[in-house]
Amino acid sequence: MADFLNAKVKEIEGRLKELRPLLDEYHRLEAAAAALGDVEARPAGRTRGAAARSNGAGSTRRGRPRGSRGENTRAAQAVELVRTRPGISIPELAEHMGIKPNYLYRILPQLEEEGKVRREDKGWHPA
C-alpha cells in the first residue's frame, strides 16, 4: 500500500511540475488582459502627428527617466508587505498599496522568478 501511495505522490508531483509553466503563462496573460483593459478605458490623449514634431528638434522625454530605480518602488513595497503579512493575496496587497491589482498580477510572478517571494495556496509568502 505504501508503494502505491508513493507512486501516486510522485505521479502528482510530476504532473504539477508539468502544469506550473502553464499556470505562470495564465497569470501573465491575465495581467496583460487587465493592463490592456485599463488602457482601453483611459480617455484618449492628444495624438502626436507630424505637426507636433515639425520643429525638427526631435521628441524630448518627459517624466521619470528610465534605468535603475531605487529601492522605493512598488515591487519593493509589495515584497515588504508579503514579508510582514505572509499569505497575503494580490487583491489584499493592492488594497494596502492603494493601487489596482493588475500591476501586481504582472509583478509578483516576476518577483517569484527572482526568488524574492513564493506562491503557496492562494497567498504569497516571503521566499
pTM above 0.75, yes or no: no
Asked, for residue 3, whether it belongs to a domain, the answer is no
**In CATH, what number is assigned to the domain containing residue 102?**
1.10.10.10
Which pLDDT does position 58 carry in this prediction? 54
Asked, for residue 48, whether it belongs to a domain, the answer is no
Which residue segment(s) compose the domain that 103 sits in?
21-39+72-127
Which pLDDT does position 45 carry in this prediction? 57
* Cβ–Cβ < 8 Å for 90, 111: no
Asked, for residue 45, whether it belongs to a domain, the answer is no
Asked, for residue 93, whether it belongs to a domain, the answer is yes
Which pLDDT does position 23 carry in this prediction? 81
Which pLDDT does position 55 carry in this prediction? 55
Asked, for residue 112, whether it belongs to a domain, the answer is yes
Q: Of 87, 96, 86, 109, give the one whose Cα is nearest residue 31.
A: 109
Per-residue pLDDT 10s for the chain (127 aa) are 889 888 988 999 888 888 888 888 888 887 777 777 655 555 555 555 555 555 555 556 565 555 455 555 888 889 999 999 999 999 999 998 888 888 898 889 989 998 999 998 889 999 8
d(Cα 91, Cα 105) in Å, to the nearest integer? 9
Which pLDDT does position 124 carry in this prediction? 93
Which pLDDT does position 92 carry in this prediction? 92
